Amino acid sequence: MQTEHLKIAGMSCGGCTGKVTDALKAVPGVGEINVSLSAGEATVQYDERLTSPEQLNAAVQEAGYAVDTAGTAKEPKGKGGCCCS
């Protein structure tokens, strides 16, 4: 198992952390997930034979949130960020 730390922009409530958690759980090979609203990040354990960091990033983006891969994440566009909006 590998561990990936994702910086996530656009989360503003507990519902957002739930959406990110659910999106990551749906990726094959993902094990333990810890999403922190206050830190704006997720820690994900995954089987590198079944998935990759790129697939984890894509799942978060599909859920409507931005992943900061180079320290330059901006608020997500399109789906509107917070799930409560």
* Structure confidence by residue, pLDDT tens digits, 22-47: 999 999 999 999 999 999 999 999 99
* Structure confidence by residue, pLDDT tens digits, 49-81: 999 999 999 999 999 999 987 654 444 444 445
Q: Helix, strand, coil proportions of the chain in percent (round to 5)? A: 25, 30, 45
User: Could you tell me the CA-to-CA distances from 43 to 2, 13, 46, 60, 77 in Å, in that order?
Assistant: 10, 18, 10, 12, 23
35 - beta bridge partners?
Answer: 42
Reported pTM = 0.82
Number of Cβ within a 10 Å radius of residue 41: 18
Domains of the chain: 2-68 (3.30.70.100)
Q: What is the pLDDT of residue 76?
A: 47
The residue among 21 and 78 whose pLDDT is bigger is: 21
